[in-house]
Amino acid sequence: MALQTFSSFSNDAVDKHIAEELLLINEKAVIFQQLGEKAKMPEGEAKTFQYSRYNRINLPLQTLTEGTPPASSDLSLSTVQAVADQWGAYVVISDIAQLTIKHPLLGVAMELLGYNSAELVDREIINVLLDGTSITYGGAATSRAGLTAVATDSLTDAVCQKVVSRLRTRGAHRYEGAHYVGVIDPSMEQDVSQADNSAFVNASAYGNIKALFNGEIGQWRGVRWMVSNLIPTLEGLAAATFASPAGGTFAGANYRLVLAAYDVETGFLKSLTQNTAVAVTASDKLTITTPNVSSEIYKIFIGIAAGAAADIMYVGLETTVGSAHIGPNVAAEILAPPTSGSSIAGSDIPATAKKVHFGWVLGKQAYASVDLMNLKAYVSKPMATTVDPLVQQRTVGYKLMFKPVIQNENFMERIEVLSEFE
């Protein structure tokens, strides 16, 4: 009698066993929403929210003259405005998918969209804070491109002292009247918590004296520090190779060009190529094949004709896909030079092969998040409609309407450094 093996009955076998428990997804720490001021716009009052501040009155410079009134002091007003943006995302699931997939897809979608919405809010806050102009660089660097040596340009006690000194000099208010709050990425965390940094006090040493912020790791130089792995880094890459064949409307000149890569998952800018000058003949266009990296999308930034290395460059419209973002491994072409829109400056580009890490030290009312519509979740009912008469689809989604805004540039300081803990 022949031995009956698995292969003899493979057509009647279960194709695979799928575990009940799903694998964990990567965790992102959302920190920034808890630190900003909260403001709520009432419905029916447009999309623009305004903060007002009456500025300090200058101290008098002269003593009074007996019997003669002095010149009066003026009141001056500063305003900060935020225009709310609407955001949202949803997932469509077919009825067959719900019937045949082992795991409950509606529940999975709701959970993932919950992460998505929280990370969206933090991403938008981070992007606004990245536009801040108060910056302290590591070591002796005075620009992003000047960060060149990890040994001297990382986050040190001296950098922290400089940041705190600048905030105190500018009169930044402390949280609860006691501390500033800092947010850094995991690499910077390792830089500051090394054994030889005696000024760092681990959060576990607080006891029950104070409530911890989400993600708080410790106290250092009058700052309570938190860690977020959602904060992006920005790497400088070697110059990209562009060509300038005929077929466009460029004027004859040298144009400064940069290829910018963005993370597909988060949308954050992750790298910039070095600013390179390309000679273009009149009526030429610009072409490049983007890198074949599935986790990235790209933009091309173009300077003005005969522009300098540090000049502003605007994003070019790619004609193949008809948008600013270009996919990986695309033979892209730009027919005309841009003159406005999204921009970067030559000084924004890190040195080649250097990855810049960002962190912030914040005072109270450094920034706010203005809500016109709080987060709302939507799950479609399993019922026939005119667009889905046979109930073949279910949808899960959310939307919200908000805008982060810097309230006072003087109450915040961005840190830009390198790190030995990549």
Q: Is 183's pLDDT higher than 60?
A: yes
What average pLDDT does the chain have?
90
Q: Quick one: pLDDT at residue 139?
A: 96
Task: Round to whole Å and give the CA distance between 180 and 240.
Answer: 41
Token representation of residue 165: 């000194």
Question: Do residues 143 and 137 lie in contact, with contact meaning Cβ atoms separated by under 8 Å?
Answer: yes
pLDDT tens by residue, 219-229: 888 999 999 99
Q: Quick one: pLDDT at residue 323?
A: 63
Distances (CA, A) of 266 to 31, 160, 201, 208, 388: 15, 28, 32, 36, 32
* Neighbour count for residue 320 (Cβ, 10 Å): 13
**Residue in this structure with the two tokens 């993600």, named with its chain if needed:** 215
Q: Which residues contact 236 (CB under 8 A, 6 or more apart)?
A: 145, 271, 272, 273, 274, 349, 350, 351, 352, 353, 354, 355, 356
Question: Do residues 384 and 391 lie in contact, with contact meaning Cβ atoms separated by under 8 Å?
Answer: yes
Domain boundaries in the chain?
A: 29-52+79-233+355-422, 239-348
For domain 29-52+79-233+355-422, the question of CATH label 3.40.50 is answered with no
Residue 149 burial (C-beta neighbours within 10 Å; 0-12, 13-18, 19+): middle
Q: Which residues contact 55 (CB under 8 A, 6 or more apart)?
A: 75, 76, 77, 78
Q: Is 91 helix (H, G, I), strand (E, B) or coil?
A: strand
Q: Is 38 helix (H, G, I), strand (E, B) or coil?
A: strand
Distances (CA, A) of 335 to 203, 244, 293: 55, 10, 24
DSSP characters over 346-406 = GGGPPPBT-EEEEEEEE-TTSEEEEEEEEEEEEE--SS--SSSTT--EEEEEEEEEEEEEE
Question: Do residues 418 and 152 lie in contact, with contact meaning Cβ atoms separated by under 8 Å?
Answer: no
Top-confidence residue, 28 or 173: 173
Q: Quick one: pLDDT at residue 195?
A: 54
Token representation of residue 64: 């009074």
Q: Quick one: pLDDT at residue 228?
A: 95
Residues, the chain, total?
422
Q: Quick one: pLDDT at residue 128?
A: 97
pLDDT tens by residue, 64-82: 999 999 999 999 999 999 9
Percent of the chain past pLDDT 70, that is, above it, reads 92
| Of 16-20, 89-93, 178-182, 346-350, the least confident | 16-20
Q: Quick one: pLDDT at residue 193?
A: 78
| Of 24-28, 127-131, 210-214, 299-303, the least confident | 210-214
Q: Is 105 helix (H, G, I), strand (E, B) or coil?
A: helix
Q: Quick one: pLDDT at residue 307?
A: 83
In this prediction the pTM is 0.91
Q: Is 199's pLDDT higher than 80?
A: no
Task: Round to whole Å and give the CA distance between 202 and 89.
Answer: 39
Task: Round to whole Å and give the CA distance between 105 and 110.
Answer: 9
pLDDT tens by residue, 251-285: 999 999 999 999 999 999 999 999 989 999 999 99
* Neighbour count for residue 88 (Cβ, 10 Å): 16
